[in-house]
Amino acid sequence: MYILGIESSCDETSAAVLMNDIELSNVVANQTLVHKYYGGVVPELASRAHQQKIIPVVQEALRQANITKKQLNAVAFTRGPGLMGALLVGVSFAKSFALGMDIPLIDVNHMQGHVLAHFIQAAGSEKPVPTFPFLCLTVSGGHTQILLVKNFLDMKILGETQDDAAGEAFDKAAKIMGLPYPGGPLIDQLAGEGDPKRFAFPHPQVPGLNFSFSGLKTAFLYFIRDHVKSEPDFIENNKKDIAAGIQHTIVQILIEKLKRASTETGIKQIAIAGGVSANKGLRKELLLQEEKLNWKVFIPPFSYCTDNAAMIAMAGYHKFLNKEFSNQGISPLTRMPF
């Protein structure tokens, strides 16, 4: 079965073709340059860029998959969560495409897509995948959740952030340091050469498996402001250690809760997903814990960490098998529970 996936929830326009669970193509048009100097994604600019890119991206995905559009069996698209104007482009495209080609339309929850990226296989090689149930730490620019994944389409939120997402904490810290958007990958890069122990930041006290990052952001802002007062070049002179310190703190906050979730559920299969799962500090720490706590850890390849349509097609494939289809009346959702 051939499934076309469409993703346009935030700042990547993406189309992918899967043959069952095998990726034939996964084309991503990145909008980093569009938003770089605005300190975040500008919704109106994102929508316009999606509108320009959606058709070329789909054409390229079909070309790389080496199939024609007539061979497609279904089109799966991100319904939400995301930015309304951005989602509208992908949703409208998918609806028109399904109508024009007379094929089923499947709506996908973007966060479910991030989790299911772990099940995408490459042609000619079979990689190990998690078995159910497993825990998934889903960390992106908009979300931070610990999920109990009971089956492909049956996931329960055990804990989530009460304010900022982990990716947002990275991006805001970067912004305070004067780095462009998205700052997460830049902090990661600088942190690789810094001392994580030189500057310490407070850990929030949040009950249960929930997270909070807004206090950390404020503490970081005051820390920078106070140091810059006495040493104007403080950031420039110490940027590697500052980045390493804030990254270490965010990673420790995430890992502490993940350990607690594993202890409470008795589940030792741990996966990570979402943009922040590309973070080298987080990946390294997880591998350390795998050894220490006898976990089996699943870390996605970099191409599946950030937003992409292959993960949407993957979720679409399982919804197809379950006969869960949408109709032409469907509209995007900026917030979308599981």
What whole-number distance in Å separates Cα of residue 244 and Cα of residue 223? 15
Nearer to ligand KG4, 159 or 167 (CB): 167
271 burial type by CB count under 10 A (0-12 exposed, 13-18 middle, 19+ buried): buried
> Other C-beta atoms within 10 Å of 301: how many?
12
Report the residue from 276, 313, 315, 333 that binds ligand KG4 according to the rule CB under 6 A. 276
Cβ atoms of residues 201 and 245 within 8 Å: yes
Q: Strands 22-30, 144-151: parallel, antiparallel or unpaired by DSSP?
A: unpaired
184 vs 316 by CB, closer to ligand KG4: 184
By CB under 6 A, residue 275 contacts ligand KG4:
yes
Under rule CB under 5 A, residue 14 binds Zn ion: no
Count residues binding ligand KG4 (CB under 6 A): 19
CB of 188 to Zn ion, least distance (A): 17
Give 68's DSSP letter: -
Within 120-149, the residues that bind ligand KG4 by CB under 6 A are 140-142
Cα–Cα dist 39/174, whole Å:
9
Question: Which partner from the list ligand KG4, Zn ion, none does 300 bind, CB cut-off 5 to 8 Å by kind?
Answer: none
Query: Which of Zn ion, ligand KG4, none has residue 47 at its interface (CB below 5 to 8 Å by kind)?
Result: none
From 47, 112, 140, 249, residue interacting with Zn ion (rule: CB under 5 A): 140
Select from 148, 184, 144 the least CA-distant residue to 166.
144
List the interface residues with ligand KG4, window 150-169 (CB under 6 A): 167
Q: Does 245 bind ligand KG4 (CB under 6 A)?
A: no
- Per DSSP, 275 falls in state G
What does the alpha-carbon distance between residue 110 and residue 313 come to, in Å, rounded to a whole number?
A: 11
307 binds Zn ion per the rule CB under 5 A: yes
**Shortest separation between residue 304's beta carbon and Zn ion, angstroms:** 10
Question: What separation, in Å, do the N-terminal and C-terminal C-alpha atoms of the chain show?
Answer: 25
Q: How far apart are CA 245 and CA 242, in angstroms?
A: 5
Report the amino acid identity of residue 197. Answer: K
> By C-beta, is 161 or 279 nearer to ligand KG4?
279
The answer to whether 274 contacts ligand KG4 (rule: CB under 6 A) is: yes
185 binds ligand KG4 (CB under 6 A): yes
Residues lying near ligand KG4 in the complex (CB under 6 A) are found at: 10, 140-142, 167, 170-171, 182-185, 188, 274-276, 278-279, 306-307
